[in-house]
Structure 1
Amino acid sequence: MLLPMSPTDSMFLLGESREHPMHVGALALFTPPDDGDAADLSALFEDALAQDVVAPLFRKMARRSVTSLGQWGWDVETEIDLGHHVRRDALPRPGGMAELMVLVSRLHANLLDRGRPLWEMHLIEGLDDGRLAVYVKIHHALADGTAAMKLLRSALNQNPDERGMPAPWEPPVAATAGPRPASNDGAPGTRLLQLPGAASSTVRNAVGEIAGLVPVLTRTVNHAVHGRGGPVSLTAPHTLLNVPISGARDFAARTWPLERLRMIAKHADSTINDVVLALCSGALRTYLHSLDALPTDPLVAMVPVSLRGQSESEPESGNRLGLLMCNLGTHHADAGQRLATVRTSMNEGKATLRSMSQMQVLATSALGVAPLAMEMLAGRRGPWRPPFNVVISNVAGTLTPQYWNGARLDGFYPLSIPTDGQALNITCTSTDDQVVFGLTSCRRTVSDLATILDHLDTELDALEHAVGL
């Protein structure tokens, strides 16, 4: 019997085609310990393959049948061909970052096999500096970007001397812990006694949620009409980023010291995420202006907001995202004004979300992305203005050095999903006090990602100057 799949998760399967792969990915770079090399790290992965142990999440396979009335659901695969999922690749000479980015771009363009659990891992040797690269991709139906990053990072820790650590596809080693504290919520017998009251409360809450949804939607649309921050936008202009795309992909990434963003945020009374958005605003403005394609109206970014809790019992799979639409202020020539516009838009949007329940956040977010989702499912791009111009995600990372069996994680670059009407995706994360910008695009539409990275570097200088640093 198939386990149910949420409508949000199944949308990524329904909207997928050869030109529109729906998986997220990450590229990790490992420096071997002093007493080893890249071949030794590869041998550790080979040893893990021989163990043939796979965590439950990586056994989940998407299926639909007559019994599910044609709807997608999850089955659990008992026999996993790890030789299919974990593969070896080698870079051509000279084996630099340019060659690595070309290979990863090609791997990211390939669809995952729906006849198997929806993930792959590629061990990439041949880097001229002796490091080992690991590229992983996971279908968005299986995990959103936040969950995927958390899953991959769970295989690492801060101890450079620890050995015998499991491979990323294996179940994590259980931490030693004392008995869990007593909790009425966690006691099956108590939950059973509370079930009638809990059910009644759930019904009352649901009725209240539905009754409150109409005024929430009305306020959300009103904010959109007046160009204020929230989950819906009606003001995004059409740009060269908002066109039909091909299946080819391009990827580029770069890192900057996170401290530089912290100092800008401190002096501008902003958040680091505001600074990330302002950097993207300036880079996109310069890029479009150089092509004589900068619209008069400001670009609008769709900013995913994770709705996941911090509890260890929180499920790691699936998609639990709300969203905000952010005015990027690209109509301003001054970097400081762009940052101020972003800060105001995000503050308005966060205030709007704080006034909603999680169900209301999901409902209004669905409204905001509905035009793009309908076009994605229909396989076409309509003539109307896009609901937003670019997706910019900032996924929580780590601020301390991370290791896997003595190998230091030196880079962790996120890859995401361009779609029809959204030819560029920008995803950020942090690793060891460095902020990483990963740009994934339709290669036919936006092929000069290195230029956009250069513009990010220039914009960082401009923002520092604007706040007096």
Structure 2
Amino acid sequence: MTELGPLDTGFMEMEDTDRRVSLGIGTVAIIEGPPPAKDELRGWLDRGLERHTRLRQRVRRTPLDLKAPVWENDPNFDLAHHVRWTALPAPGGEEELKELIATELTERLDRDHPLWEVVVVDQLTEDRWVMILKAHHTMADGISEITLLESFCDPAATEVGEDRRPNGKRARTGLLRLLKEAIRAPVTIPRSAVGAVRTLAPVLYAAIAPASESSLNGPIGRQRRYAVARTMLPQVREIAAAFDVTVNDVAVAAIAAAYRRLLLSRGEHPTPTELRIVVPVSTRTTEAQHVLDNRVSAVIAHLPIEVDHPVERLLAAHEQIRRHRSRGETDAEKSLLALSRRLPFGLVAEVFRLAVSFPQRGVVALATNIPGPRHRLTLGGREVIELWPCIPIAMRVRTTIAILSYLDHLTFGITGDYDTTPDIETISSSITTEIAVLLAHARDRQASRRPRPVVRAIGTARSRHVK
């Protein structure tokens, strides 16, 4: 048995404290051809069960919560607990699929069993079917859930014969490093904790400081809405190259434009520092790529929604994210999480409960970028055509956006509160519009940099003489 980490525990406390919240992370795979038979599906899931022991483990809390909850093997594990079959109502289009996804985001996973499930959806138009994978945020973050999905898929050519076991040298190096850290801990932990608190002071202030009134922040209900924005990754890379920014910068700038247009459509005036957004940052190393757990930190940035010009808005978003990362906020959060492992569990849990109960008004949105597979996924030889990400909402944040890359696609999955975000499609349409506008600016910029053809004067004179 292994204990849950502080962040994993925090997600569980968040769900326990607020009955309107369900913290399951979803990945929607749209697949060609007919759906599988039950035995065929079981064969795919068995592949994942062999690779990830966590899929057979449930969470057990200790008496009086004196210690952290632990992962333990489910003595009554039955795969049937984790598979559901359903079909879309007529006409079976993507609108019906998005409504089903929104409903799935409200359903909590059963705490008596391992915290994951698969929903097989039939009768999607154009000879397609859908597999929705859900895992509790306690068990997985966005990257590790994609790893889980891949473990169900047909083995890729690069995985054949691959040995994932660490070699002896690497293991010995890790043991020596841990030994050194244990010896230095009494000295380095207090010092690093002070430094982490100093670095995180702006983050903590951004989270709790009062913000101007906005319809993007406030109480949420139990029902959800879901929308999707599709873009092409090569086009986003073209924009990033033209303006010397990152793909993530372009995505965040498109989100800033979407929220700007949403506020304007609601009759609200976008003002500077109004939109504080949480941007999770992965801290997952290459060695931990295939581990089911949470390895994320975050920065809280101000989206430049007050900037009207698309290129200026892109450069402002780039500068905001660069400034936050250069301050070392993500490393500081890792230090505090490591320190919290040495504190009494009851104290850590109470901090999370207070944080969830506190009516924060500083953060109004969350956007996370998930790098997906670069190779084509297949299930029983059937091609996975698209992947849609979907993440929950909580703590008065009425919308969240997950950005997932797959092959040449970059898909934005948008989750909203049902009652307060009836115009969620404004966000998705604005994202695709902004990418198109930025692409036009990028190509104009590249065209202006190209050298113009030189017309030789002598050649022109000869042409006139011939005439």
Same fold (TM over 0.5): yes
**Structure 2 matches for 1:376-455, cutoff 5 A?**
377=354, 380=357, 382=359, 385-386=361-362, 388-455=363-430
Q: Could you say which residue in structure 2 is the equivalent of 1:279? A: 254
CA distance in 1, matches of 2:293, 2:90: 39
Q: Could you say which residue in structure 2 is the equivalent of 1:352? A: 327
Q: Could you say which residue in structure 1 is the equivalent of 2:276? A: 300
Q: Could you say which residue in structure 2 is the equivalent of 1:217? A: 197
CA distance in 1, matches of 2:330, 2:411: 32
The answer to whether structure 1 residue 6 and structure 2 residue 5 are counterparts is: yes
Query: Once the 2 structures are TM-superposed, how far is the Cα of residue 233 of structure 1 from its aligned partner?
Result: 8.2
Q: Could you say which residue in structure 1 is the equivalent of 2:456? A: none
Which ranges of structure 1 fall in alignment gaps of 5 or more residues? 33-37, 163-172, 367-372
**Structure 2 matches for 1:142-161, cutoff 5 A?**
142-156=139-153
**Cα contact 1:282–1:330 (8 A) shared by 2:** yes
SS in 1 for 2:281: strand
**Cα contact 2:253–2:313 (8 A) shared by 1:** yes
**Matching residue's letter, 2:438:** L
Larger Rg: 2
Query: Once the 2 structures are TM-superposed, how far is the Cα of residue 203 of structure 1 from its aligned partner?
Result: 2.9
Length-normalised TM-score, structure 1: 0.82
**Cα contact 2:402–2:412 (8 A) shared by 1:** yes
**Cα contact 1:426–1:440 (8 A) shared by 2:** yes
Q: Could you say which residue in structure 1 is the equivalent of 2:344? A: none
SS in 1 for 2:85: strand
Work out the number of aligned pairs and report it: 432
- Deviates further, 347-356 or 140-149: 347-356
**Matching residue's letter, 1:75:** E
CA distance in 2, matches of 1:326, 1:318: 25
Q: Report the structure, 1 or 2, having the larger helix content.
A: 2
Kindly report the root-mean-square deviation, in angstroms, between the aligned alpha carbons of the 2 structures: 3.4
**Matching residue's letter, 2:110:** D
Q: CA, structure 1 residues 422+468, in 2 after alignment: closer, same or farther (shift >3 Å)?
A: same
The percent of aligned pairs where both chains have the same amino acid is 25
Q: Could you say which residue in structure 1 is the equivalent of 2:182? A: 202
After superposition, the C-alpha distances for 1:269-298 in whole angstroms (9 at most, x for unaligned) are 100000000000001100111101244223
CA distance in 1, matches of 2:261, 2:119: 35
- Deviates further, 51-60 or 434-443: 51-60
After superposition, the C-alpha distances for 1:416-445 in whole angstroms (9 at most, x for unaligned) are 010131010100011121101000111112
**Structure 2 matches for 1:93-132, cutoff 5 A?**
93-132=90-129
**Matching residue's letter, 1:80:** F
CA distance in 2, matches of 1:51, 1:302: 35
Q: CA, structure 1 residues 177+450, in 2 after alignment: closer, same or farther (shift >3 Å)?
A: closer
Q: CA, structure 1 residues 66+306, in 2 after alignment: closer, same or farther (shift >3 Å)?
A: same
After superposition, the C-alpha distances for 1:106-159 in whole angstroms (9 at most, x for unaligned) are 122111111111111110001121111011110111111221122212333586
**Matching residue's letter, 2:169:** N
Query: Once the 2 structures are TM-superposed, how far is the Cα of residue 104 of structure 1 from its aligned partner?
Result: 1.6
SS in 2 for 1:349: helix
Query: Once the 2 structures are TM-superposed, how far is the Cα of residue 378 of structure 1 from its aligned partner?
Result: 6.5
After superposition, the C-alpha distances for 1:224-274 in whole angstroms (9 at most, x for unaligned) are 87x9xxxx7858544212111111111111321111111111111100000
**Cα contact 2:148–2:292 (8 A) shared by 1:** no
Query: Once the 2 structures are TM-superposed, how far is the Cα of residue 215 of structure 1 from its aligned partner?
Result: 3.7
Within the candidate set 73, 76, 80, 2:73 is matched to 76
Query: Once the 2 structures are TM-superposed, how far is the Cα of residue 218 of structure 1 from its aligned partner?
Result: 2.4
Which ranges of structure 2 fall in alignment gaps of 5 or more residues? 342-349, 445-467
Within the candidate set 294, 316, 330, 1:341 is matched to 316
CA distance in 2, matches of 1:12, 1:327: 24
SS in 2 for 1:154: helix
Q: CA, structure 1 residues 396+236, in 2 after alignment: closer, same or farther (shift >3 Å)?
A: farther
**Cα contact 1:18–1:111 (8 A) shared by 2:** no
